[in-house]
Amino acid sequence: MRTVDSAAPWFRRFRPVPEPRLRLVCFPHAGGSASVYRSWPRRLPADVDVLAVQYPGRQDRLNEPCIDNAEEMVGAVSDALTPFLDRPLALFGHSMGASVAHEVAVRLERLHGPVLDTLLVSGRLPPRHHRPREVRHDDEWLMADVRDLDEASSAVLDDPDMRELMLPAIRADYHLADSYRPSPSPVLGAPVVAYLGRDDPRVRVWQLRAWAEVTKAAFDLVVFPGDHFYLRSQEAALVGDVARRLGGDRLEGARLEGAQWRHAVRGRGVQ
């Protein structure tokens, strides 16, 4: 059963861990909610506490105003994480969530020092390759773009009532993602791992390698079969790899189940 920490409405904990060794904070994609990470805790070590970020304007925060700019979102999530800094944090973000997770990581290291264990980013262009898109508010265009990336799950939008409930959050998230401009951030002291679906139509492997530039520690790149939402069909393999890393076996010595290939480097400047 899900429990909600009343002191942190930003997070959902589907399997509370009273005395965790580490906390994994998971950031959803545009239009997504905390529930996309509901099944992750059962695949992770018992001493890893999963905090799934719940953006305002959806599910049990439906009556709250959405946030449509990255700076406000990053500040709010970072502040909400302050009570959880008694344990090391790992951050995982997919698509838009990867950019938010990266900016939160930078902010936390700047304000609180080395509190970050690992940054894990998925299906998102790194800062060097990011280009803001034209911000559009045409609902037909939004629906077409959502279907282009996630045709199977977007079928729910064919229901007029569900579409009316979901559109405000989708609009806000698209505005955030399309208007986002990476801050001139210092490099992180924590390792970074970048994940990708081999057939993602928006991100290429050669682009993803530039995530190495955001850290002065280790970098690893992992490619799975699948498209932009590979993390559904490849959940067991993906979360298994995350679990291995959070268990202390970082980059060396373990077989990666399900992945097409992996690439590990140390330091910065991968082209």
Q: What is the mean pLDDT of residues 15-33?
A: 95
- Please determine, for residue 248, whether its predicted confidence score (pLDDT) is greater than 80: no
Q: Which of 81-85, 138-142, 151-155 shows the lowest mean pLDDT across its residues?
A: 151-155
Q: Tell me which of 33, 95, 99, 154 is the catalytic residue.
A: 95
Helix axes of 70-81 and 96-112: crossing angle, nearest 10 degrees: 50
228 is catalytic: yes
- Please determine, for residue 204, whether its predicted confidence score (pLDDT) is greater than 70: yes
- The DSSP secondary-structure symbol of 188 reads B
Q: Which domains are assigned to the chain?
A: 11-266 (3.40.50.1820)
Tokens for 263? 């690439």
pLDDT at 135: 65
Per-residue pLDDT reduced to its tens digit, 67-82 = 999 999 999 999 999 9
- Give me the percent of the chain exceeding a pLDDT of 70: 85
Query: Could you tell me the pLDDT band of residue 161, with boundaries at 50, 70 and 90?
Result: confident
Q: Tell me which of 29, 102, 175, 228 is the catalytic residue.
A: 228
Q: Which of 25-34, 48-57, 260-269 shows the lowest mean pLDDT across its residues?
A: 260-269
Helix axes of 160-179 and 70-81: crossing angle, nearest 10 degrees: 90
Query: Could you tell me the pLDDT band of residue 257, with boundaries at 50, 70 and 90?
Result: very low
Query: Could you tell me the pLDDT band of residue 253, with boundaries at 50, 70 and 90?
Result: very low
Task: Quote the CA–CA distance of 157 and 159 in Å, as a whole number.
Answer: 5
Query: Could you tell me the pLDDT band of residue 269, with boundaries at 50, 70 and 90?
Result: very low
Task: Quote the CA–CA distance of 170 and 120 in Å, as a whole number.
Answer: 23
- Please determine, for residue 201, whether its predicted confidence score (pLDDT) is greater than 50: yes
Give the amino acid at 202: R
Tell me the β-bridge partners of 263: 221
- The DSSP secondary-structure symbol of 68 reads -
pLDDT at 147: 82
Q: What is the mean pLDDT of residues 181-200?
A: 93
Question: 25: helix, coil or strand?
Answer: strand
- Please determine, for residue 65, whether its predicted confidence score (pLDDT) is greater than 80: yes
More confident residue, 134 or 115: 115
Query: Could you tell me the pLDDT band of residue 159, with boundaries at 50, 70 and 90?
Result: confident
- Please determine, for residue 268, whether its predicted confidence score (pLDDT) is greater than 50: no
Q: Which of 108-112, 148-152, 197-201 shows the lowest mean pLDDT across its residues?
A: 148-152
Length, in residues, of the chain: 271
